[in-house]
Amino acid sequence: MAATQVLKSEWTKIRSVSSTVWTLGLAVVVTVGLGLLISILAKNDYDSLNAQDRRVFDPTFTSFAGMSLGQLAMIVFGVLVVSNEYSTGMIRTSLSAVPQRATFMASKVAVATLLCLVVGLVTSFIAFFVGQAMLGEHKAVISDPGVLRAVIGGGLYMTLIAMFSMGVATMLRSPMLSLGILMPFFFLISSILGNVSATKKIGRFLPDQAGSKIMQVKTPLDDDTPYGPWGGLAIMVVWVVVALIGGYTLLKKRDA
């Protein structure tokens, strides 16, 4: 089967499964909605901040507060894109039609990634503009230094989270097992490692903590992270590449 036909087939699979489409829609809603709420609260609390906290107040990053829940939906999307075929048994048909497993996986990841990038960028820009509207006089503008980078970075972050989830789901095949590992990893283990002094230096190199650095314009007072925004994104890219290579290696070795 020609590469273009494989790409079209993967696109058809994604848009024909309502759960994947709804998941992307949910990512937009929760990211923008929570960012709006936190921005309103931040505006109301601004006057109570001391001088130091006001200097490092990051209106751009504040509008991205909803990313913590938005990434949940992107994780689910990444898992469903891959594991739906395993749970329904359609993977045998797919691999019979496309026996070149590199082409099969690359096409699936490429189509899903492009869709996530579009959704992620749209979500990030909407979250930014809505959040800044709520912040009023404390807002940032897109032309401020570092702001455009942070907004585009928000879209890249959401995309990379989904790609990492695709790699893990390809390795594990089971949607329940994949989500059972990814959810605690991002929402429990990463949080604990990043907030406990003994493990903080390890936690900062996990994909979500490193990647989220790209969305920051101002550095918090207690932040001694040894890398900047692009360095953090690069660390996240390494995690994604490792996950995808691991997924492909197992896909190539085992039966459907």
What digits encode the pLDDT tens for the residues 144-199?
Answer: 999 999 999 999 999 999 999 999 999 998 999 999 999 999 988 898 888 888 88
- Confidence (pLDDT) at 20: 84
Q: Which of 29, 108, 13 is CA-nearest to residue 67?
A: 29
Q: Quick one: DSSP state of residue 144?
A: S
Structure tokens at 226: 């040894």
pTM: 0.93
- Residue 1: the pLDDT is 60
| 232 part of a folded domain | yes
Q: What is the pLDDT of residues 197-237, one digit of tens each?
A: 888 889 999 999 999 999 999 988 778 889 999 999 999 99
Within a domain: 124: yes
CB-neighbour burial class of residue 7 (10 A; exposed 0-12, middle 13-18, buried 19+): middle
> Does residue 256 fall inside a structural domain?
no
Does residue 151 belong to any structural domain of this protein?
A: yes
How many structural domains are present in the chain? Answer: 1
115 in any annotated domain:
yes
Q: Given a cut of 70, is residue 256 above it in pLDDT?
A: no
Q: What is the mean pLDDT of residues 122-131?
A: 97
Residue 200 resides in a domain: yes
Average pLDDT over residues 86-110: 86
Instruction: Give the integer Cα–Cα distance in Å for 228 and 213.
Output: 7
Q: Using the predicted structure, report yes or no on whether residue 121 has a pLDDT greater than 80.
A: yes
Asked whether 168 and 240 are in contact (CB, 8 A), the reply is no
- Tell me: pLDDT of 90 over 70: yes
pLDDT at 132: 96
Q: In which domain, by residue range, is 139 found?
A: 3-251
Query: Mean pLDDT score of the chain, rounded to an integer?
Result: 91
Distance CA 28, CA 197 (A): 33
**Does residue 2 have a pLDDT over 80?**
no
Which residue is associated with the tokens 């499964």?
Answer: 17
Neighbours of 201 (CB within 10 A): 13
